[in-house]
Amino acid sequence: MRGILIGTLFFAVMMSSAAIADEVPAEIEYLLTTMGQSDCTFIRNGREHDADDAEAHLRMKYRRGKRYAPTSEAFIENLASKSSMSRKPYLISCGGAEPAESGPWLMELLQEYRSSNRVPVSETVDDAAAAADPAG
């Protein structure tokens, strides 16, 4: 019985880890798409770019630098918030507002996405345990 419990917990943790790994590209895709559809101006190394250009640039950085983005937070921190050449922060201005650093804006988008899309880990663990319990 103890072996079944340990096996069930291991399975639940693995399923949860796999679900999280699948979420990272979905979260990054959401960030990139939302950025591209925004009415914001992105300022990179002192030059203004429209939302489409910003999305294309960050897609290129992600494609080339996925190893630096194992998590959505790492994507934001390592690829989407500053120039890899000049190290200057990327800025964003939406609706005529003063430019602000893009990192916090992207983190807010990420939190909004997670709030509306994430299944609580406890549900995933409960579902996996129920599936592994033959007495069910």
Q: Where are the domains of the chain?
A: 23-119
DSSP 8-state assignment for residue 79: I
Question: What is the model's pLDDT at position 16?
Answer: 39
Stated pTM of the model: 0.70
pLDDT in tens, 64-120: 999 999 999 999 999 999 999 999 999 999 998 999 999 999 999 999 999 998 655
Rounded Cα distance between 111 and 8, Å, is 30
pLDDT in tens, 22-48: 578 999 999 999 999 999 999 999 999
CB 40 within 8 A of CB 96: no
